[in-house]
Amino acid sequence: MEISSTSWLHVALLFYSLGLWHALATVIQRKQQMFKTVVLSFFLGAAAHLVSIVDQTITVGKIPVSTLHQMASLIGFLITCFFLLFYWRYKYESLAVFVFPTVFLLTLVGSLAAPVTAWKGHSLMSWWLPLHVVLFLLGFAALFLTSCSGMMYIIQENELKSKRPRTFYYRLPPLGTLDDISYYSLAVGFALCTLALITGSVWAFVEWGANWVVDPTIALSFLTWLIYLGMIFGRLAIGWRGRKAAYLSILGFCSAALTWITNSGVHSFMQR
């Protein structure tokens, strides 16, 4: 009996639920337990998630990124991949407190969607659009880790200043490591979002002419890009580090999240 993409997504959700339980237990008990088992479960969840995405891609004929549910599922998978990569590189567990619940919720949103169908309309069948969306979601996933490392930096610094640091403090990476994670994920995320803007602009101009210029979601996308450009410039030219960079990473991600939500539907210039 053939297993549908939705069923594979439910399998992934089951594996991810162990990560959700682990994150909640960590917050409540202030300590992490069975982390390697949970990481293995997350890896298996990512494998099932990948099978679901591949199956949807075969069904649709293109990478499934035409609805909010599909994009939520894909970005959950991408965040998982980035997390596993950074865990393999740095061996720090603290990011899991933010990553595990986020991936579970995004996958849950993706699993609530109706069965996928092929895209309709000539413009939507172009490869430029899925390429644009995938690049943006890759960048979004990297910038999510930037914001997580920023939040952890603030928590770590506050704990250092307190006279009685809590148990969870001792499981946080050093401030220098958090700053490195923030910088590298910012660089990757910014580069991917820049490519997403370029491919999206090319697609919009070819398909819709000059109408795309006045689209409000396009303006918001460029605003988000400028925020991250300012962060890159501040780090390289002015030497922004530490708390200031951490707060800016959170601000930038809020703008990126708003951009993703507003761009998950149909652009206004496509309705004209």
How far is it, in rounded angstroms, from Cα 102 to Cα 177?
22
Q: Both 18 and 92 in a single domain?
A: yes
Q: Both 20 and 89 in a single domain?
A: yes
The amino acid that residue 35 corresponds to is: F
Is residue 262 within 8 Å of residue 215, measured between CB atoms? no
Q: Both 162 and 240 in a single domain?
A: yes
**What's the structural domain count of the chain?**
2
How far is it, in rounded angstroms, from Cα 99 to Cα 24?
12
Quick one: tokens of 234?
């501040």
Task: Give per-residue pLDDT as tens, 148-174.
Answer: 999 988 888 887 777 776 666 666 778
Phi, psi of 91 (to 5 degrees): 60, 25
Tell me whether residue 157 is in a domain.
yes
Tell me whether residue 248 is in a domain.
yes
Q: Both 251 and 193 in a single domain?
A: yes
Is residue 8 within 8 Å of residue 48, measured between CB atoms? yes
Is residue 19 within 8 Å of residue 38, measured between CB atoms? yes
Task: Give per-residue pLDDT as tens, 107-138.
Answer: 998 888 655 555 555 455 567 777 888 898 89
Tell me whether residue 119 is in a domain.
no
Q: Both 185 and 103 in a single domain?
A: no
Tell me whether residue 124 is in a domain.
no
28 conformational bin, left if phi > 0, alpha if psi -120 to 50, beta if neither: alpha
- pTM (predicted TM-score): 0.78
Tell me whether residue 129 is in a domain.
no
Tell me whether residue 188 is in a domain.
yes
Of 74-78, 85-89, 187-191, 208-212, the range with the lowest mean pLDDT is 208-212
Tell me whether residue 254 is in a domain.
yes
Q: Both 271 and 152 in a single domain?
A: yes
DSSP assigned state of 88: H
Tell me whether residue 137 is in a domain.
no
What is the average pLDDT score of the chain?
80
How far is it, in rounded angstroms, from Cα 32 to Cα 94?
9
Average pLDDT over residues 24-43: 78
Q: Both 88 and 31 in a single domain?
A: yes
Q: Both 171 and 243 in a single domain?
A: yes
Q: Both 163 and 95 in a single domain?
A: no
Residue with tokens 């795309």: 212
Q: Both 109 and 150 in a single domain?
A: no
Q: Both 156 and 271 in a single domain?
A: yes
Q: Both 184 and 229 in a single domain?
A: yes
Q: Which domain holds residue 14?
A: 1-113
